Amino acid sequence: MTIELYYWLGLPGRGEYARLVLEAAGAPYREMAQLSSEEGGGMDAMMGWLDGRQGPFIPFAPPFLKDGEVVVSQAGLIAAYLGEKLGLAPQNEAERHFARSVALTTADFVAEVHNVHHPIATGLYYDDQKEEARRNAEQFRAERMPKFLGWYERLITANPAGAGFLVGGRMSYADLGLFQTVEGLNYAFPRRMETLGKTVPRVVSLCRRIAAEPMVKRYLESERRQPFNEDGIFRHYPELDGA
């Protein structure tokens, strides 16, 4: 049965963390919200899950995934589920567990990125919380970005496999999650990333290698890859950026 991915239309968002694993593995999947109702998809099909019409496994929010009887929500967990199923996860048990921890920490980092432009309320517009966003962005650039990116750098450095990945000796969903996050940060905070990138050369190198992986490259060059925009998590508001 083909894997079904449910996510909002018009932004890469958290759905991209699932999509990248599916694409890197070359797995067939159906992007449900983009399909018509005749094809079993559409927004109403997605909302049917969220309001309980589709069964007792009610996700709190997109993205979520249906694979046969299994329903998984939460971007980091979906990536882990797919990575482990599709061969993009470490084999060793301890590494498998730690890769999950890394992917979920990335999900926390992404939530902090969202809080930068929506520190007061997700339900309010950015314009209604611009001044607070400016203050949040200051500490995010000064403290949180170096802390998270420095942590990834240390993981790569400490990884005994020595192959330049976060966990284990080959590319996993944890690496793909870092890649997407760094891409998003490059879009949202280009000035900050230019200075910060120099301090995390292993992270930069890993992201470059991931972009060049044949399956990933093919996806990034396809029409399926959606650009970042100011409806998503990673938003480029120049007033929130700074070296």
Residue 163 within binding range of a copy of itself, rule CB under 8 A: no
Question: Which of residues 111, 211, 212, 243 is near a copy of itself by CB under 8 A?
Answer: 111
Residue 169 within binding range of a copy of itself, rule CB under 8 A: no
Alpha-carbon distance of 131 to 119, in angstroms, equals 10
Residue 130 within binding range of a copy of itself, rule CB under 8 A: no
Question: Least Å distance between CB 43 and a copy of itself?
Answer: 19
Q: Is 243 helix (H, G, I), strand (E, B) or coil?
A: coil
Question: Least Å distance between CB 221 and a copy of itself?
Answer: 32
Which C-beta is closer to a copy of itself: that of 159 or that of 226? 159
Residue 214 within binding range of a copy of itself, rule CB under 8 A: no
Question: Least Å distance between CB 1 and a copy of itself?
Answer: 13
Question: Which of residues 26, 40, 94, 212 is near a copy of itself by CB under 8 A?
Answer: 94
**Binding region for a copy of itself (CB under 8 A) out of 11-19, 98-106, 173-181, 204-212:** 98-106
Which C-beta is closer to a copy of itself: that of 27 or that of 58? 58
- Tell me if 208 sits within 8 A of 159, measured CB to CB: no
Q: Is 159 helix (H, G, I), strand (E, B) or coil?
A: coil
Residue 101 within binding range of a copy of itself, rule CB under 8 A: yes
**Binding region for a copy of itself (CB under 8 A) out of 37-45, 75-83, 210-218, 235-243:** 75-83
Q: Which two tokens stand for residue 48?
A: 């049917």
Total binding residues toward a copy of itself, as defined by CB under 8 A: 48
Give 66-118 as a DSSP string: EETTEEEESHHHHHHHHHHHHT-S-SSHHHHHHHHHHHHHHHHHHHHHHHHH-
- Tell me if 203 sits within 8 A of 175, measured CB to CB: no
Cis peptide before 12 (omega within 30 of 0): no
Name every residue whose Cβ is closer than 8 Å to that of residue 26 and which is 6 or more positions away in sequence.
215
**Binding region for a copy of itself (CB under 8 A) out of 2-10, 99-107, 189-197, 222-230:** 99-107
Q: Is 148 helix (H, G, I), strand (E, B) or coil?
A: helix
Which C-beta is closer to a copy of itself: that of 72 or that of 182? 72
- Tell me if 96 sits within 8 A of 90, measured CB to CB: yes
Of 91, 92, 93, 105, whose CA–CA distance to 17 is shortest?
Answer: 105
> Which run of H or of E encompasses 129?
none
**Binding region for a copy of itself (CB under 8 A) out of 12-20, 37-45, 52-60, 220-228:** 52-60
Q: Which two tokens stand for residue 227?
A: 């650009």
- Interface contacts to a copy of itself, rule CB under 8 A: 52, 55-61, 64, 69-74, 76-77, 81, 93-94, 97-98, 100-101, 104-105, 108, 111, 115, 119-124, 132, 135-136, 139-140, 143, 148, 151, 154-155, 158-160
